[in-house]
């Protein structure tokens, strides 16, 4: 795919040191999918790669996809479609605002057509999957089986032979299901661990089993900090400190919660001295252009 010359793939792996990783005696590696592209958020590219492969092999004319007003997936799709010259439409949840936020402005800059639909109508239409009049419909967040395929590359391009635990933030669970499927296929010894960023007891773990037939994955559901796109003072202070200490910016919606969970799991002894952890930085930094612009950091 000629889009690869626009992307940094394979993404590098960085060994990070902070006072808390030193105190815990762990090695913390970060798989830098945030460096894949400034706007095409890390795991959103991983999900789109399989989707675009499928698009190229079939007889489609355009892509239509779905997202909220601050969606990393919408903006990633808009940028990828501009590079590949694929016409695309974004169906945005909610009424059209007087002033579009910067995430949606960037979608338009890349040439995505935006259509606003009421929350009720959105729920119905996001169920649309497959092909209608040669339009490929992709669910919110790039979720679904096609989206898992490219997530294999996160592990395929990385030597994980000495890694004890691999961590990733989970929204729809598509990325972790790709990681877990690959880990099983290639009999990797690392444990795959997810941090749920939405409220809801064990819903990712249940989805993984039911939708993807994936087992043996650990999903932590207690580190959502109040729910999807919610933050609390502890999370913001943690991100602030981490960013200053490492020079790596985390986003407040996904990767910040994942890293805070890793920190807390060190403190409560679930991650033990001497363990080697690889966390996936799934990107999401455009999150700071959206609602988080209001946060007091
Ligand atoms: C969308 C997103 C996720 C969640 O990925 P899923 O495949 O939906 O679980 C994680 N991190 C970032 C930065 C994201 O933008």
Pocket test for ligand 1, best of 30, 43, 253 (most atoms within 8 A of CB): 43
Span 241-254, average pLDDT: 97
Has residue 292 got a pLDDT over 70? no
Number of helical H runs and strand E runs in the chain: 11, 11
Contact 126, 240 (CB under 8 A): no
The answer to whether the peptide bond before residue 10 is cis (omega within 30 degrees of 0) is: yes
pTM as predicted: 0.95
Q: 167 CB less than 6 Å from ligand 1? A: no
Confidence bin at 129 (pLDDT 50/70/90): low
Fold of 3-41+145-295: Rossmann fold (3.40.50)
Predicted pLDDT at 123: 82
Distance (angstroms) between ligand 1 centre and the Cα of 253 equals 9
- DSSP E strands in 59-121: the ranges are 62-67, 88-93, 113-117
Tokens of 12: 């590098």
Query: In which band, very low, low, confident or very high, does the pLDDT at 287 lie, cut at 50, 70 and 90?
Result: confident
Give yes or no for residue 148 CB within 6 A of ligand 1. Answer: no
Q: Between 174-185 and 203-212, two packed helices, what is the crossing angle to 10 degrees?
A: 60
Domain with CATH 3.40.50.1100 in the chain: 3-41+145-295, 43-142
Q: Is the CB of 169 under 6 A from ligand 1?
A: yes
Q: Tell me, in angstroms, the distance from the centre of ligand 1 to residue 281's CA.
A: 10
Q: Domain 43-142 belongs to what architecture?
A: 3-Layer(aba) Sandwich (3.40)
**Does residue 286 line the site of ligand 1, with CB under 6 A?**
no
Ligand 1 nearest atom to the CA of residue 147, by list position = 7
pLDDT at 290 over 90: no
Nearest-atom index, ligand 1, CA of 254: 11
Q: Which atom of ligand 1 is nearest to the CA of 285?
A: 13
* Burial call 74-84: b when 16+ CB within 10 Å, e when fewer: bbbbbbbbbbb
**How far apart are the CA of 171 and the centre of ligand 1, in A?**
5
């Amino acid at each position: 795919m000629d889009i690869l010359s626009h992307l940094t793939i394979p993404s590098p792996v960085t060994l990070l040191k902070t006072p808390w990783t030193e105190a815990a005696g762990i090695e913390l590696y970060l798989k830098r999918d945030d460096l894949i592209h400034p706007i095409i958020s890390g795991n959103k590219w991983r999900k789109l790669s399989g989707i675009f492969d499928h698009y190229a092999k079939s007889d489609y004319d355009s892509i239509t996809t779905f997202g909220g007003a601050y969606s990393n997936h919408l903006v990633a799709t808009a940028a990828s479609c501009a590079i590949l010259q694929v016409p695309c439409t974004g169906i945005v949840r909610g009424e059209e605002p007087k002033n579009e936020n910067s995430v949606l402005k960037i979608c338009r800059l890349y040439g995505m057509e935006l259509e606003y639909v009421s929350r009720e109508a959105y729920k119905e239409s996001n169920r649309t999957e497959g092909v209608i009049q040669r339009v490929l419909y992709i669910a919110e967040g790039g979720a679904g089986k096609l989206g898992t395929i490219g997530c294999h590359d996160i592990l395929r391009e990385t030597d994980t032979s000495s890694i004890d635990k691999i961590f990733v933030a989970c929204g729809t669970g598509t990325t972790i299901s790709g990681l877990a499927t690959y880990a099983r296929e290639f009999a990797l010894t690392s444990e795959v661990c997810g941090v749920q960023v939405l409220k809801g007891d064990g819903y990712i773990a249940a989805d993984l089993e039911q939708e993807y037939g994936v087992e043996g994955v650990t999903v932590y559901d207690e580190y959502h900090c109040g729910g999807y796109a919610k933050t609390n003072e502890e999370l913001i202070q943690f991100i602030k400190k981490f960013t200053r200490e490492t020079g790596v910016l985390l986003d407040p919606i996904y990767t910040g919660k994942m890293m805070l969970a890793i920190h807390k799991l060190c403190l409560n002894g679930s991650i033990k001295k001497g363990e080697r952890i690889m966390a996936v930085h799934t990107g999401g930094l455009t999150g700071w252009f959206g609602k988080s612009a209001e946060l007091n950091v």
